[in-house]
């Protein structure tokens, strides 16, 4: 059955449509227009959202868990709980993000996630895993954060190939420290597999970061966090990431990981087309204060801070809140902020033909928002999620 959705506004997000009419058939958008130009079909199910705005569903390319569960659990029920939690906050697609752990634990998690993704079955009420983000073990000891030092290993094409095979070819991104021996060759190999190499957890200098970009690295992981500090005479990895237009970059805009004024500077440097919002959320997201797991670590959560032995360990941020924070921190409009959580991550992943935009041919995943950016409803393939 066809569905028609109407609202006060639509952020496509590259365009604003007042009084939109969005026609959906078989889970995909088939037509978009305004009520001034199009009539609401009478033979279709009608979902109307007066006083609210439509936007594409959010895409989180760095999320470890939520609702008390972690993607490293390699458990179907845990993954379902995480995906339902994300859908309630407007996220309709995501990269399941692993952490540094003993190799056999990473392989087990990759196998489970790869099979879940490979089934390619649209689950009602749940965000869709679009692939895997391998965060660790190819990272720097100096900037490892809370990643266990005993489980870090040098990057190599052989190790990446083993992870790739275990994931059934579903790894879409890996975080890598470019200064580690073997990193450049591994970045080259990742490119042949269609994996985006993201610079992060790194003490690289400027030249080392530039060499990685030349080799094919095209993104940066939670910019500023777990990176060599920026110095005006020694710009380091941050100087390369912020100055190079060929690199997109993501940021945890929770006001904890990065000061609001620095979020504003980041947005000015990368601009509306190259900045991406992430959550880096752990199992504690959506849960009360307490102790929760991140991989094999037990993390203490109080307020907006997640800490392991006094160091930040992920976040409890949700992507809808990150959008609102951009509006607050940088005085961006809702339409401008939405792009960083929809269109940009979809383009980065090469999924722009399917996601990140409300346009004909795209999957009908949308979020319904108030003017302040709060989620009123989430729509998955044209169907409402029960929030």
Domains of the chain: which residue ranges?
3-55+362-384, 58-348
Cβ atoms of residues 93 and 362 within 8 Å: no
What is the edge-to-edge ordering of all strands in the sheet holding 171-176? 58-63, 91-98, 128-135, 171-176, 196-199, 219-220
Tens-place pLDDT, residues 60-119: 999 999 999 999 999 999 999 999 999 999 999 999 999 999 999 999 999 999 999 988
- Sort residue 217 into left (φ over 0), alpha (ψ -120 to 50) or beta: beta
Catalytic residue from among 203, 280, 320, 365: 280
Cβ atoms of residues 60 and 279 within 8 Å: yes
Cβ atoms of residues 140 and 221 within 8 Å: no
10 alpha-carbon distance from chain centroid: 22
The reported pLDDT for the residue numbered 119 is: 84
Q: Same CATH fold, 58-348 and 3-55+362-384?
A: no
**Helix H or strand E segment including 326:** helix 319-330
Structure tokens that stand for 291 in this block? 């102790």
Does the domain at 3-55+362-384 match CATH 1.10.760.10? Answer given as no
What is the CATH architecture assignment of 58-348?
Alpha-Beta Barrel (3.20)
Integer Cα distance of 55 and 13 in angstroms: 6
Tens-place pLDDT, residues 244-297: 999 999 999 999 999 999 999 999 999 999 999 999 999 999 999 999 999 989
Cβ atoms of residues 242 and 269 within 8 Å: yes
The reported pLDDT for the residue numbered 122 is: 76
Whether 280 is catalytic is yes
CA atoms within 13 A of residue 320's CA, in its CB half-sphere:
26
Integer Cα distance of 224 and 241 in angstroms: 10
Backbone angles phi, psi at 102, to 5 degrees: -50, 145
Integer Cα distance of 126 and 117 in angstroms: 13
Integer Cα distance of 330 and 308 in angstroms: 30
Cis peptide before 130 (omega within 30 of 0): no
Is residue 121 scored above 80 in pLDDT? no
DSSP for 284-319, please give it: TTTS-SEEEEETTEEEEEETTEEEETTEE--B---H
DSSP for 341-352, please give it: TTHHHHHHTT-T
* 109 CB-near residues (< 8 Å, 6+ apart): 71, 72, 73, 74, 98, 101
Integer Cα distance of 252 and 228 in angstroms: 17
Cis peptide before 354 (omega within 30 of 0): no
Tens-place pLDDT, residues 313-356: 999 999 999 999 999 999 999 999 999 999 999 999 999 999 99
pTM over 0.85: yes
């Amino acid at each position: 059955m066809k569905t028609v959705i109407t609202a006060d506004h639509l952020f496509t997000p590259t365009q604003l449509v007042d009084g939109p009419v969005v026609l959906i058939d078989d889970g995909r958008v088939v037509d978009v227009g305004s009520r001034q130009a199009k009539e609401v079909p009478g033979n279709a199910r009608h979902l109307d959202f007066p006083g609210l705005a439509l936007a594409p569903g959010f895409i989180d390319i760095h999320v470890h868990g939520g609702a008390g569960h972690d993607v490293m659990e390699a458990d179907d029920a845990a993954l379902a709980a995480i995906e339902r939690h994300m859908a309630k906050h407007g996220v309709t697609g995501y990269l399941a993000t692993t952490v540094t752990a003993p190799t056999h634990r990473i392989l087990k998690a990759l196998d489970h996630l790869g099979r879940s993704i490979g089934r390619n079955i649209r689950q009602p009420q749940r965000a869709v895993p679009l692939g895997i983000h391998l965060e660790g073990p190819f990272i720097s000891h100096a900037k490892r954060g809370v990643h266990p030092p005993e489980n870090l290993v040098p990057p190599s094409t052989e190790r990446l190939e083993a992870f790739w095979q275990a994931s059934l070819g579903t790894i879409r991104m890996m975080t890598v420290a470019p200064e580690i021996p073997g990193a450049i060759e591994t970045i080259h190999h990742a490119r042949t597999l269609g994996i985006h190499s993201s610079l992060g957890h790194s003490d690289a200098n400027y030249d080392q970061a530039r060499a990685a970009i030349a080799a094919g690295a095209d993104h940066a992981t939670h910019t500023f966090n777990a990176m060599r500090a920026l110095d005006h005479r020694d710009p380091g990895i941050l100087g390369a990431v912020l100055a190079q237009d060929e690199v997109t970059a993501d940021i945890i805009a929770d006001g904890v990981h990065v000061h609001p004024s620095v979020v504003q500077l980041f947005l000015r440097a990368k601009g509306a087309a190259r900045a991406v919002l992430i959550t880096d959320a752990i199992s504690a997201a959506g849960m009360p204060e307490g102790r929760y797991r991140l991989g094999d670590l037990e993390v203490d959560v109080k307020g907006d801070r997640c800490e392991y032995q006094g160091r930040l360990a992920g976040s409890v941020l949700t992507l809808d809140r990150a959008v609102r924070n951009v509006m607050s921190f940088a005085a961006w409009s809702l339409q401008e902020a939405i792009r960083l959580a929809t269109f940009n991550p979809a383009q980065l992943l090469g999924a722009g033909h399917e996601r990140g935009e409300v346009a004909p041919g795209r999957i009908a995943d949308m979020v319904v928002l108030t003017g302040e950016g709060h989620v009123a409803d989430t729509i998955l393939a044209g169907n409402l999620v029960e929030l």
